[in-house]
Structure 1
Amino acid sequence: MQKHHWLRAGLFAAAASAAFAAAPAQAQGSLVMYCGVQEEWCRAMSGAFEKETGIKVAMTRKSAGEIYAQLKAESSNPRGDIWWGGTGDPHLQAAEEGLTQDYESPANKDLHEWALAQWEAAKKRSVGIYAGALGFGYNTQQIKAKGLAEPKCWADLLDPKLKDDVQVADPNSSGTAYNLLATVVQLMGEDKGFDYLRALHKNISQYTKSGAAPAKAASLGETAVGIVFIHDAVVFAVQGDPIKAVAPCEGTGYEIGSMSIVKGARNLDNAKKFYDWALTPAAQALAAPAKSYQVPSNK
């Protein structure tokens, strides 16, 4: 009788163990995530983290400039926990203003030097998660129809035949556009750089809210040229759209996409868990399936 009792107990324990092993992660609180990359990548990251940890993620997608402005507006009563993605300059600005907090992840040892340089520049309040070079994408059909040679340089975008046929993001909302401004000034000097931007303005049809939007517009033929990070143009080239990505002949700048923990985060422990997880190879490998082709920060 005793033997049967222990047998039943053993079978019950084994069944319970198997049930727990097969079950998804149990709920472990929540996380408010401000995401500064493309929607598809944002959803992939938030969904994978939620599935792996059981932590419920409330994700909002905005441009880096918009997220920075939101953190500033909410500084007296923070609502976000983690800011993931978007160009590094707004992250650095937020760090300088005390809108984000310092954190050293155990994963730092596995990161490229440029990612750690961002962390050090931000006084440990932001870290690099990917890198991407600035350039532009042009619609091959539109350029051919205008009788233009393939644009290869920043100077080519000043051609009068491109009047009202170039798009770039608005620097008031987009880190991409701010990167363009900084790139041009560093390449040409302040005076010539602003002369270039004034001349370029004559060809701009729209200053978009999102940094990546001009690439989509170029792929659809809504504009001949979209000034974007090169990986944003590659997304549409890979799927067969008539768009070609260009690294300008004069040289170019680049972004270090970053991640920061919000100062005063209500779910601080979960923010740190996401931060550590987002720096792993497995998490960063979610980029390519989401059609994002930046260089990951994990070696």
Structure 2
Amino acid sequence: MIMTVTARGSAVFGAALLLLGTAALATPAAAQGQLTVYCSVQEEWCRPMVAAFEKETGIKVSMTRKSSGETYAQIKAESANPKGDIWWGGTGDPHQQAAEEGLTEEYKSPKLSELNDWAVRQWEQTKGRTVGVYSGALGFAYNTKLLAEKKLAEPKCWADLLDPKLKDEVQVADPNSSGTSYTMLATIVQIMGEQKGFDYLKALHKNINQYTKSGAAPAKATSLGETTVGIAFLHDHVTMIVEGAPMKAVAPCEGTGYEIGSMSIIKGAKNLDNAKKWYDWALTPAAQALGAQAKSYQVPSNKATPVPPQAPKLADIKLIDFNFAKYGSSEERRRLLAKWDAEVKNQPK
């Protein structure tokens, strides 16, 4: 499925965002202490979230931005003496692993009843230790100018990325650091079966020019013409397309996986009350509308938040029945990542 996106949104949506944004940027309260946020979405979305929360609550926020895999590793390393209070955003699998390992706190927000079923299910599966804040489908995009210049066939399926003509023309993140890429690893295994899935990943390895640290980096590289094809979440590609990049986003014909971007309170948080305030606030329509304003086009978890018109229509994409419980478990993640390191990443091309 080829996705076409334009920069033009609806006037109604814009008005709704204006109202929600006004609500989010309320008169600041008196100073109310501190909060340390580990943010695993793009910097361009992390910053306005922090600014809006500080203005509304008077709480001073210290924010660190890292990919979800890196953040999980940091929280685990700091578990004896936690430095962070809340982990916001990033793919749900590492959040689930952190929950299973007791690295995050159980919390039931009064906003839970306002959320889509998939967000609540994330909370239920982790016994209240993480909750869904947005969703987005995995896919790839290609640079239309480079494809034409190199006279390459238009890829429409995962299988098309194995074309020998695409040698050194495909970019994807390393699943050890990137939740996006781990979602791809788990997706391919679920679509093809483990043996055939790893055979596919080994064949794809021959066409990879770089395994990036961040999951969104291949979308940026595709927009800049640094790679012909980039594998990432479709909303990351859409961000580049809306900004005018010569790209087409593709939902692979065989089907694809998706993420539930999540949020967790870190166990042992030194600013627990303020972490809960962020948690509740981040589930409101006003806070979630900041994503689209930051040109992040995921589907928000609060049912009252306007869905950006540019967001990939999940109902039009062939989504697999992604087994979040299995592939978010610490044992399965460790096993698959170790196997990927041994059989894919460390192999010659």
Q: Tell me the TM-score normalized by structure 2.
A: 0.79
2:141 is the counterpart of 1:137: yes
RMSD value, Cα: 0.9
Q: Which residue of 2 aligns with 1:154?
A: 158
Q: Which residue of 1 aligns with 2:272?
A: 268
Letter in 1 for 2:114: D
Q: Which residue of 2 aligns with 1:205?
A: 209
Per-residue CA distance 1:173-229 (angstroms, 9 max, x = gap) = 000110000000000011110000000000000000000000000000000000000
State whether residues 107 and 279 of structure 1, in contact with CA within 8 Å, keep that contact through their aligned partners in structure 2: yes
State whether residues 146 and 161 of structure 1, in contact with CA within 8 Å, keep that contact through their aligned partners in structure 2: no
Q: Which residue of 2 aligns with 1:291?
A: 295
Q: Which residue of 2 aligns with 1:111?
A: 115
Instruction: Specify every segment of 5 or more residues in structure 2 that has no aligned partner in the other structure, as ranges.
Output: 1-25, 304-349
The 2-side partners of 1:245 and 1:177 are apart by 17
Q: Tell me the TM-score normalized by structure 1.
A: 0.92
Per-residue CA distance 1:76-110 (angstroms, 9 max, x = gap) = 00010000000000000000000001000000000
Percent identity, aligned pairs only, is: 77
Q: Secondary structure at the match of 2:111?
A: helix
The 2-side partners of 1:149 and 1:281 are apart by 42
Letter in 2 for 1:194: F
Q: Which residue of 1 aligns with 2:197?
A: 193
State whether residues 279 and 298 of structure 1, in contact with CA within 8 Å, keep that contact through their aligned partners in structure 2: yes
The 2-side partners of 1:96 and 1:225 are apart by 35
Q: Secondary structure at the match of 1:133?
A: strand
Which one of the candidate residues 165, 172, 184 is aligned to 2:176? 172
Which one of the candidate residues 119, 126, 142 is aligned to 1:122? 126
2:257 is the counterpart of 1:253: yes
Q: Secondary structure at the match of 1:106?
A: coil
Q: Report the alpha carbon displacement of residue 280 of structure 1 after superposing the two structures with TM.
A: 0.3
Q: Report the alpha carbon displacement of residue 24 of structure 1 after superposing the two structures with TM.
A: 3.3
The 1-side partners of 2:235 and 2:181 are apart by 15
Alignment: residue pair count? 278
2:94 is the counterpart of 1:96: no
State whether residues 88 and 257 of structure 1, in contact with CA within 8 Å, keep that contact through their aligned partners in structure 2: yes
Instruction: Specify every segment of 5 or more residues in structure 1 that has no aligned partner in the other structure, as ranges.
Output: 1-21
Q: Secondary structure at the match of 2:290?
A: coil
The 1-side partners of 2:27 and 2:174 are apart by 46
2:55 is the counterpart of 1:51: yes
Q: Which residue of 1 aligns with 2:85?
A: 81
2:72 is the counterpart of 1:72: no
Letter in 2 for 1:255: E
Q: Report the alpha carbon displacement of residue 23 of structure 1 after superposing the two structures with TM.
A: 6.6
Q: Report the alpha carbon displacement of residue 137 of structure 1 after superposing the two structures with TM.
A: 1.1
Letter in 2 for 1:47: A
Runs of 4+ displaced beyond 4 Å: none
The 2-side partners of 1:193 and 1:260 are apart by 31
State whether residues 130 and 297 of structure 1, in contact with CA within 8 Å, keep that contact through their aligned partners in structure 2: yes
State whether residues 133 and 263 of structure 2, in contact with CA within 8 Å, keep that contact through their aligned partners in structure 1: yes
The 2-side partners of 1:241 and 1:23 are apart by 37
Q: Which has the larger radius of gyration?
A: 1
